[in-house]
Amino acid sequence: MQPTRALLGMRYRKLRLTTKDVNKGFYKGTGSGSMGRHTSRGGYIIEWNKVRTFVCPDLTGFKLTPFVTNNVKRTYGQYDTKLGPKDPQEYLARWKSENGLD
Amino acid sequence: MATASAVRPSLGAAFRLTSSNIPKRISPSLTQTSPLSTAAPLLKRHTYPNARSNKDMSKSRGQSALRRTGLRWRLSVSDDPLPKPKPREELPPVEVDPDHGLWDFFPNRETVAASPEDDMKHGRGWMVEELRGKSWEDLHKLWWVCVKERNRIATGAWERERGRLGFGKSEAQGRDREVRITMRGIKHVLTERFYAWEDAVKLAENDPEIDLSGKGRPFTPKEYLEGEAAEEEVLEFKAEEEGEAVVPPPQGKAQGEAARL
């Protein structure tokens, strides 16, 4: 059996590296993210704090949609300080008024 | 006692002795007639010495599934009638759960992809300023509403491509864009809120009204206390700075649960 002619010789060097290329040491992920760690014997231990869990809340009776009507003009917020919405003083003041005395 | 075999002749014997089974030239040992001169040699088929076998070496000669020839030899089930498949109209209807979650992948029960006219009926995505006023619960639910909408759009695009249904890709992409703008805004708001919270916790260390140690209430507003008590609290705060013993501030009049930030 022969490899595809297009992959022979110097033409292969111009292609992008895959996970199967290069000797030991070259790692290329596939976009799934790290879920654990490798063991010295070639195994893999899953670290469950790294594994993603998707929590979907109960959407019954929820009226908001991904869209806002075009009749409402776009208005940007007006803030007193330079930091604006990122201002921690603003955050604290709002927390005190809304949440502090629960 | 008489066994069954003694009473009834065995089936094998009956088979052998039926008239159709007796070969035309019977050997002299079976009957009581005198041996014929030609009896024994006539039983043996005439073959030449060293003759090659005449059998058909090709066991599946003439058999073809493509040309539907059927089998070469009859089977015990060869005469059994084959079952005929029911036409599709006569089949019982498939039972579908009307509340199945997978229905949410489609815009309605009749179609697999929304028409371009329906896909165009959407507004604009949420602005970040509009999302800033929303609670965590609302933002969390809105995020998943967006996810489901994108799944619906993607299913429609896939089905449109697969079934060559026609136009609609551009309208679907426009709708998808607005949903993604909303999702981007949700992420931005939550990140911003987190960073602001981190900075606020740092600021609260120097705020006399706030105590996040866990003892007592986290927030004790100054206006709540009487005049002397407010001064006392300020003095306590100064004493704390100088490293002297700290008297905890007096409890406010309103009873409430200590809500940690």
pLDDT in tens, B113-172: 999 999 999 999 999 999 999 999 999 999 999 999 999 999 999 999 999 999 999 999
DSSP string, B61-81: TT--TTTT---SS--TTTTSP
Chain-chain contact of A100 with B203 (C-beta, under 8 angstroms)? no
Q: Are the CB atoms for B153 and B175 separated by under 8 Å? A: yes
Binning pLDDT at 50, 70 and 90, where does residue B256 land?
very low
C-alpha distances out from residue B205 to A100, B216, B217, B231, Å: 15, 15, 14, 19
Q: What's the CA gap between B252 and B221, in Å, rounded?
A: 8
Q: How far apart are CA B26 and CA A55, in angstroms?
A: 90
CB contact under 8 A, B202 and A88: yes
Cβ partners under 8 Å of residue B63, min gap 6: B69, B70, B71, B72
The domain spans of chain B are 3-42, 101-206
What are the E-state strand segments in B109-260?
Answer: 124-125
Integer-rounded Cα radius of gyration of chain A: 27
Nearest Cβ partner of B125 from A67, A75, A76?
A67
Tokens 């709002």 identify what position?
Answer: A94
B200 and A91 in contact by Cβ < 8 A? yes
The answer to whether the Cβ–Cβ distance between B219 and A101 falls below 8 Å is: yes
Whether the pLDDT of residue B71 is over 50: the answer is yes
Mutate to test the interface with A, among B99, B119, B126 (most CBs of A within 10 A): B126
DSSP lists the bridge partners of residue B219 as: B210
**Identity of residue B238:** K
Distances (CA, A) of A51 to A33, A45, A47, A48: 9, 12, 7, 5
Q: What integer pLDDT is reported at residue B218 of this predicted model?
A: 86
pLDDT digits (tens, 9 = 90+) for A29-80: 999 999 999 999 999 999 999 999 999 999 999 999 999 999 999 999 999 9
Statement: residue B177 has pLDDT above 70: yes
Closest in A56, A68, A91 to B197, CB measured: A91
Residue B112 has pLDDT above 90, yes or no: yes
| The pLDDT value given to residue B48 | 87
Global confidence as pTM: 0.64
- Where does residue B232 rank: exposed (0-12), middle (13-18), buried (19+ CB within 10 A)? middle
Confidence tier at A2 by pLDDT (50, 70, 90): confident
pLDDT of residue A38: 94
Secondary structure of residue B236 in the 3-state scheme: helix
Give the nearest partner residue to B122 out of A57, A67, A102, using CB atoms.
A67
pLDDT bucket at A28, cuts 50 / 70 / 90: very high
